[in-house]
Amino acid sequence: MNQKNSLGLNNCFLDLDDPIQLFKAWMDEANKSEPNDPNALSLATSGKNNFPSVRMVLLKEFSQNGFVFYTNLNSQKGNELKENPNAAMCFHWKSLLRQIRINGSVTQVEDKVADQYYNSRGYESRIGAWASKQSKEIENREVLIKSIKEFKQKYNDEKNVPRPSHWSGWNLTPSSIEFWLDGDSRIHERLKYTIDDNGNWIKSLLSP
């Protein structure tokens, strides 16, 4: 028989007032159970045309300040976030039968933060940030290969590849976080945290 928390939910929901702590607990479990990329998430954005788009990205950092991912600022998602700084994230871990949805607003990380992460990446990845005009059409694959070769010649010192000004990180500050657990006969368990005007997290149960 599954243990329940004080809200009558599966004990994996714990009894926490802080959703970031619960996110960490679930992410720690996903790191152990997922076959690859437990930090993968679907990121939904929408530009000034209000037409939504979604893609997979990797979470690189999270804290009480928010959830951070990196990208080309001139990519489709980058341009949409500049036009409309609101976004949604969704993590889904099949191994745990769990999902987390996060809504919030985004801001660019500080340059020193972006520099630190960029410099931790491998040489090929840093070159790729220069060579790829992300989301732009190219005539053929050779155009990209040629660009990579050119930037390798330009930055042939693997320890000294500067971060492009068009490549940085976004921090999503959450306004709501929902935790979901698969249930028998589709009677799922859902717990939502919403932040109030005073910066306090309010918990509520949602119907499946």
Listed in sequence order, the residues at least 6 apart from 122 whose beta carbon sits closer than 8 Å to its beta carbon are: none
What lies within 8 Å, CB to CB, of 132 at 6+ separation is 72, 144, 147
Which listed residue (55, 141, 163, 186) is catalytic? 186
Indicate if 101 belongs to the active site: no
The Cα 161–Cα 166 span in angstroms is 14
d(CA 13, CA 122): 37
Q: Which residues contact 12 (CB under 8 A, 6 or more apart)?
A: 26, 29, 98, 181
Distance (Å, whole) CA 89 – CA 130: 26
Distance CA 107, CA 82 (A): 9
Separation between Cα atoms, residue 156 and residue 31, nearest integer Å? 35
CA distances from residue 137 to 2, 53, 76 in whole angstroms, order as listed: 52, 17, 12
Catalytic residues: 186
